[in-house]
Structure 1
Amino acid sequence: MPDIDGLLEARNFTGDQTSTGGFHVKGANAQDWGLQNRLSRIFRPSTGRTVMLAFDHGYFVGPMAGLERLDRDIAPLAPQADAIMMTRGALRTSIPSDTDAAVVLRASGGPSILRELSDEHIALDIEDAIRLNAAALAIQVFIGGEHESRSVANLARLVDVGQRYGIAVLGVTAVGKEMARDARYFRLATRICAEMGAHIVKTYYVADGFETVTASCPVPIIVAGGKKVPELEALTLAYRSIQEGAAGVDMGRNIWQSEHPAAMLAAVRAVVHDGAKPEEAYELYQERAAAGAAS
């Protein structure tokens, strides 16, 4: 066992990751054709980035504000996203099968908001994921949580089966109430996910040192939107995340809890794919919102 007392603080995060093969998704040059093809459905080849729309929240919190009617409130937004992240139940019941958005299926679950959330298990069979044409499977990893070891083992098992069938795995760094929320913690959590084989990692943005989180993770990092904040603030979060090395955002509440969800999704796309600055994207949001209200 390594002597953790003698570890030096990591500090050399500069420089681009060495790449071979020219594939547009970080860390995936050596993957098989099918897995690369699925990653290309998530990450736009022209930019190497993604705008993912997350609405899997109901699997542990139920019908929260903005998710009361998935068919009415979420399905119309799906065509505007590069990828959509949800449960298999939500996909089958509420999302039209002609959608072009890449499907990212929530693959872990168990406890509700009323219990210890880290007590999760794999809750999806790979055959069902194949039937649903999933591009990726999402699983929470609770580094520092009560059931950390099991969540890491769940990730490892899902990676094994994902590799077998060419389906990517998205490791989600879950943050409990008592867990740290700084760059050092997120470097640890994201690196563990990548070292265990995750092809993509979803984590949170931090203002101090986020570029070290993205630099030290050998696979793409996408940033969670988190709780609902004013639109300009959310667009600023997306902009800073991209500028500091993220390969996209996975937003939920900051889109479908916005007063004008479609306009907000368009503004986020402008930041991620077109390099729009937050103020420019906010102007686009206001224009789209006004046009929608007029129609």
Structure 2
Amino acid sequence: MADLDDLREGTNFTGGAAAREGFHLKGQAGQDWGMKARLSRIFDPRDGNTVMLAFDHGYFQGPTSGLERLDRSIVPLVPQADALMCTRGALRTTIPADNGKGIVLRASGGPSVLTDLSNEEIAVSIDDAVRLDAAALAVQVFVGAENETKSIKNMTTLVDQGQAAGIPVLAVTAVGKDMVRDARYFRLATRMSAELGAAFVKTYYVEEGFETITSACPVPIVIAGGKKVSEPEALRVAYRAMQEGAAGVDMGRNVFQSEHPAAMLSAVRGVVHDGLTPEEAFDLYQTLAN
């Protein structure tokens, strides 16, 4: 094991982006055809970016605000998303099979908000993921939490199974209430996930040093939407993240808890795929909302 007595924090994060070697996603040129085909159902090959719609919250929160009736709140939004992040229960019961979107299938779970969230297990078999034609498997990693090693083992087990089946794994960096949300922590969590086999990583945006997180991670990063904020603020965060190296957003509450969810999702698409500024995107939101 490396000597930890003189562990030095990295500083050299500058420089141009590495060549993509004929594929539109960083670090994925060497993957098998099936893996790349599934990733292309999540990330638009025209620009390498994605707008994921997350509504998997019920797997540990229950029917949270905005997700009481998935058939009413989510199904109408499906056409505007590039990919859907959901549970297999929601997929089978509610999402039309002809939706044409890449499905990022929640594959870890177990504890509820009433217990220790880091104590997750693998909750979906690779056979069922294949049966559901999943484009990716999402697993929570709890770097720094009590069950850190267990969550990393969940991820690497799915990576092994996914590589055999041609299904990429999304590592979702969880942040507990006692963890510091800064660039140093997220550089650690995202780099660990990528080094141990995740094909892409979902993490939070931070105001200081986010570009060092995307630079140091050899696979694409999508940002989590996080808690509900105002529409201008959510669009500002999405814009800054894209400008600082993110490959897309995975937004949930800031879409389905918006007063005008469809308008908000369109505005987010404008930022991610059309390069709209936050002000231009909010103007679009207001136009569509009215």
Q: TM-score, normalised by structure 1?
A: 0.97
Q: Which amino acid aligns with 1:248?
A: G
Q: For residues 174-215 of structure 1, give each alpha carbon's deviation from its aligned partner in whole angstroms, at most 9, with x where no partner exists.
A: 000001100000000000000010001000000000000000
Structure 1 match to 2:134: 134
Structure 1 match to 2:48: 48
Residues in 1 aligned to 2:20 and 2:252: alpha-carbon distance in whole angstroms: 34
Structure 2 match to 1:293: none
Q: For residues 133-180 of structure 1, give each alpha carbon's deviation from its aligned partner in whole angstroms, at most 9, with x where no partner exists.
A: 100000000000010000011110000001001101000000000011
Q: Give the C-alpha shift of residue 232 in structure 1.
A: 0.3
Structure 1 match to 2:118: 118
Residues in 1 aligned to 2:20 and 2:104: alpha-carbon distance in whole angstroms: 26
Aligned residue for 1:84, secondary structure, equals strand
For structure 1, the residue ranges without an aligned partner over 5 or more in a row are 291-295
Contact 1:201 1:219 in 2 (8 A): yes
**After the TM superposition, which residues 1-295 of structure 1 pair with which residues of structure 2 at under 5 Å, given as runs?**
1-19=1-19, 21-290=21-290
Q: Which amino acid aligns with 1:259?
A: E
For structure 2, the residue ranges without an aligned partner over 5 or more in a row are none
Residues in 2 aligned to 1:16 and 1:173: alpha-carbon distance in whole angstroms: 25
Q: Which amino acid aligns with 2:247?
A: A
User: Bigger shift: 18-27 or 87-96?
Assistant: 18-27
User: Bigger shift: 234-243 or 6-15?
Assistant: 6-15
Residues in 1 aligned to 2:100 and 2:80: alpha-carbon distance in whole angstroms: 9
Contact 1:22 1:29 in 2 (8 A): yes
Q: Which amino acid aligns with 1:225?
A: G
Contact 1:19 1:29 in 2 (8 A): no
Q: Which amino acid aligns with 1:112?
A: S
Aligned residue for 2:5, secondary structure, equals helix
Q: Which amino acid aligns with 1:178?
A: D
Residues in 2 aligned to 1:201 and 1:179: alpha-carbon distance in whole angstroms: 18
Residues in 2 aligned to 1:278 and 1:107: alpha-carbon distance in whole angstroms: 33
Q: Give the C-alpha shift of residue 90 in structure 1.
A: 0.3
Q: Give the C-alpha shift of residue 18 in structure 1.
A: 3.2
Give the number of aligned pairs: 290
Residues in 2 aligned to 1:7 and 1:186: alpha-carbon distance in whole angstroms: 17
Aligned residue for 1:259, secondary structure, equals coil
Q: Which consecutive segments of 4 or more residues in structure 1 shift more than 6 A?
A: none
Contact 2:170 2:200 in 1 (8 A): yes
Q: Give the C-alpha shift of residue 17 in structure 1.
A: 4.2
Residues in 2 aligned to 1:47 and 1:175: alpha-carbon distance in whole angstroms: 29
Residues in 1 aligned to 2:49 and 2:4: alpha-carbon distance in whole angstroms: 36
Q: Give the C-alpha shift of residue 16 in structure 1.
A: 3.1
Residues in 2 aligned to 1:20 and 1:96: alpha-carbon distance in whole angstroms: 34
Q: Give the C-alpha shift of residue 54 in structure 1.
A: 0.1
Residues in 2 aligned to 1:130 and 1:17: alpha-carbon distance in whole angstroms: 33
RMSD across aligned positions (CA):
0.8
Q: Which amino acid aligns with 1:270?
A: G
